[in-house]
Amino acid sequence: MSNAQPLGTVRLSVDLMGGDHGPSVTLPACRSFLDRQPQAELILVGTEAALAPARQWPRTTCVVASEVVTMEDAVEIALRKKRDSSMRVAISQVKPQGDAGGAEPAAPAAHACVSAGNTGALMAVARYVLKTLDGIDRPAIATVMPNQTDGYTTVLDLGANVDCTAEHLLQFALMGSALVSATQDKARPTVGLLNIGEEAIKGSEVIKEAGERLRAAHAAGLLNFHGNVEGNDIFKGTTDVVVCDGFVGNVLLKTSEGLAAMLSQFIKQEFTRNTYSKLAALVALPVLNHFKRRVDHRRYNGAALMGLRGLVFKSHGSADAYAFEHALRRAHDAARNRLLEQVQTGIASAMAQSAA
């Protein structure tokens, strides 16, 4: 874990136009976030009309973008045709700005970027604008899921990479470990490799090779590898981090969100069934409400695009203001605790170890 002191003032750039709802959601979320975070600053990126209500806000800079990446736009359109999109301009705020007159470029305008836009477009544009860190072949999408320990399990990759090599999975483990260290104040978070069983001999050839690399990294002190874990271990909280390829991770994410929505709907239905159900539900209301809050996926909104030369966080496209504010909070915490520096340190150590 990094010994660097947390940042004081954190500046976030926000793509106001992204997602299914655009400014009708992002603007109220940004205002609420500013009210709750008196040391935070925002760089809001959007059209002239979208920015108008925020012109007089405190600790806010408005940047005009003439184009918008829609949820239906192909990656090619976002990357090559819409070069002045709110998404691209917002991401550019976390890129070092030009030349400071010396060996190092000037500091970026923002410490992290948040967008609810098209996931494929966001990943492609972020990778093009920011580039990947040395030692990282592919960025990964990471988010947290609630577990039985009343804490969270960080899972990656959640859809950026369908086909992964053993080396990619090792890189995901290093990045996920750094993410948990930065955001949950854990010096040596445990890492699990998602598999069909706990035994080292199980799984595909890629998974078995990844296990060998992770055990070697553990022996070298680069991470704290627990071993193979199964799907139910994510919700048990067996490890702090779980790594998998993007195909499995995306299916897992969508399934868990669907289950949470089904349980929430079930709780609502119990209040309307019959008199007995209503009375039973009223007695259990505190427990039901606590459970509903724990599994509410909006509270875990904000997936980090790991492995880039800048912090970018992806909000659900369908997020409401409550959920989008949580994505802002997650980006704020990561930037404040210098996540990017911790990832760079972890990857550099791994590269040095492999070269030795």
Tens digit of each residue's pLDDT (9 = 90 or more) over 75-109: 999 999 999 999 999 999 999 876 545 556 788 99
Is residue 279 packed enough to be buried (19+ CB in 10 Å), middle (13-18) or exposed (0-12)?
exposed
- Paired strand residues for 53: none
Kind of pairing, strands 241-243 and 40-46?
unpaired
Q: Is residue 119 part of a domain?
A: yes
Residues 188 and 294 in one domain: yes
Q: Which of 187, 142, 198 is nearest to 311 (CA)?
A: 142
Q: How far is CA 127 from CA 123, 136, 142, in A?
A: 6, 12, 15
Residues 172 and 288 in one domain: yes
Residues 180 and 253 in one domain: yes
Asked if residues 312 and 88 have their Cβ atoms less than 8 Å apart, the reply is no
Residues 147 and 285 in one domain: yes
CA distance 133 to 308: 5
- Can you give the pLDDT at residue 65? 98
Q: In what order do the strands lie in the sheet with 112-115?
A: 60-64, 40-46, 10-15, 112-115, 311-314, 303-306, 140-146, 152-156, 241-243, 190-194, 224-229
- Can you give the pLDDT at residue 1? 44
Residues 267 and 319 in one domain: no
CA distance 207 to 232: 18
Residues 187 and 320 in one domain: no
Residues 34 and 12 in one domain: yes
Q: Tell me if residue 311 falls in helix, strand or coil.
A: strand
Per-residue pLDDT reduced to its tens digit, 23-60 = 999 999 999 999 999 999 999 999 999 999 999 999 99
User: What is the CATH classification number for the domain harbouring 262?
Assistant: 3.40.718.10
Residues 222 and 118 in one domain: no
Residues 72 and 92 in one domain: yes
Q: Which domain holds residue 74?
A: 1-136+307-338
pLDDT class of 124 with cuts at 50, 70, 90? very high
Q: Tell me if residue 332 falls in helix, strand or coil.
A: helix
Asked if residues 38 and 20 have their Cβ atoms less than 8 Å apart, the reply is no
Burial string for 207-220 (b: 16+ CB within 10 Å, else e) reads bbbbbebbeebbee
Q: Which of 48, 51, 117 is nearest to 78 (CA)?
A: 117
Residues 221 and 161 in one domain: yes
Looking at the structure of the chain, the number of domains it has is 2
Ranking 62-66, 300-304, 308-312 by mean pLDDT, the lowest is 300-304
Ranking 54-58, 197-201, 274-278, 339-343 by mean pLDDT, the lowest is 274-278
Its pTM stands at 0.86
Element (H, E) at 112: strand 112-115
Q: Which of 49, 50, 48 is nearest to 30 (CA)?
A: 50
Element (H, E) at 314: strand 311-314
Residues 8 and 121 in one domain: yes
- Can you give the pLDDT at residue 280? 63
Residues 35 and 157 in one domain: no
Q: Is residue 29 part of a domain?
A: yes
Average pLDDT over residues 210-233: 95
| Token duo for residue 53 | 């209500």
Q: Is residue 349 part of a domain?
A: no
- Can you give the pLDDT at residue 351? 72
Q: Is residue 353 part of a domain?
A: no
Q: Is residue 86 part of a domain?
A: yes
Q: Tell me if residue 312 falls in helix, strand or coil.
A: strand
- Can you give the pLDDT at residue 285? 56
- Can you give the pLDDT at residue 94? 97
Per-residue pLDDT reduced to its tens digit, 336-355 = 999 898 888 878 877 777 66
Q: Is residue 164 part of a domain?
A: yes
Q: Is residue 344 part of a domain?
A: no
pLDDT above 70 as % of the chain: 87
Asked which of 277, 299, 321 is the last residue of a domain, the reply is: 299
Cβ-based neighbour number of residue 120 at 10 Å: 15
Q: Is residue 61 part of a domain?
A: yes
Mean pLDDT of the chain: 88
